[in-house]
Structure 1
Amino acid sequence: MDIPIEDELKSICIEIVNQDYSTHQWLEIESSDMFQSPSFVGGFDADELEFCFSYFYENSTEFWFQFTLDQAKSISKGESVKLSGLKSE
């Protein structure tokens, strides 16, 4: 499933970018639920070296997806980025 990149996710990415942390700094504050909104929950994962999120679709179906710090920067600027999610089991 393609993850919708709309205001809700864009706001999270703006918050990530505004922290002004390097990937190394994100490693030091790893958290699986640092960012939460009605449809998204996630944070930086040290094993993946990316932000890992759950997206809760209309009927509460959960999809997992991840993106890099550079992708977060692009999303925060409104640039076109395609993110795909896998349905959780």
Structure 2
Amino acid sequence: MDIPIEEELKSICIEIVDQNYSTHQWSEIESSDMFQSPSFVGGFDADELEFCFSYFDENRIEFWFQFTLEQAKSISKGESIKLSGMKPEQKHITNT
């Protein structure tokens, strides 16, 4: 599913960029729910080195997606990028 990149997500990305942290600095303060809005909940994941979010559609169905700090910068500027999400049960877990 394509994640809608509209004002709600753009506002979160502006907040991320305004912190002016590097990826390393974000990894030191990782949080799974630092950013919350009506449709989005997420934060920075130090293992993934990306922002990991849940998106809830109009039916409150959850989709997981991730984006980098560079993608957050692009979204905050209104640049067109594509983010894809998946339902939590679609995530493949590999045991090693």
User: When the two structures are superposed, what TM-score results if normalisation uses the length of structure 2?
Assistant: 0.92
Provide the aligned C-alpha RMSD in A: 0.4
What's the counterpart of residue 34 of structure 2? 34
Q: How far apart are residue 7 of structure 1 and its match?
A: 0.1
Gaps of 5+ in 2: 90-96
The separation in 1 between residues aligned to 2:27 and 2:58, in whole angstroms, is: 32
In structure 1, give the amino acid aligned to 2:3: I
What's the counterpart of residue 4 of structure 1? 4
Moved over 3 A (4+): none
The separation in 2 between residues aligned to 1:57 and 1:43, in whole angstroms, is: 18
In structure 1, give the amino acid aligned to 2:10: K
Gaps of 5+ in 1: none
What's the counterpart of residue 49 of structure 1? 49
Pairing of 1:48-87 with structure 2 (within 5 A): 48-87=48-87
Using the aligned pairs only, state the percent identity: 88
Q: How far apart are residue 67 of structure 1 and its match?
A: 0.1
Matched residues, number: 89
What do residues 49-74 of structure 1 show as CA deviations (whole Å, max 9, x unaligned)? 00000000111100000000000000
The separation in 2 between residues aligned to 1:80 and 1:5, in whole angstroms, is: 8
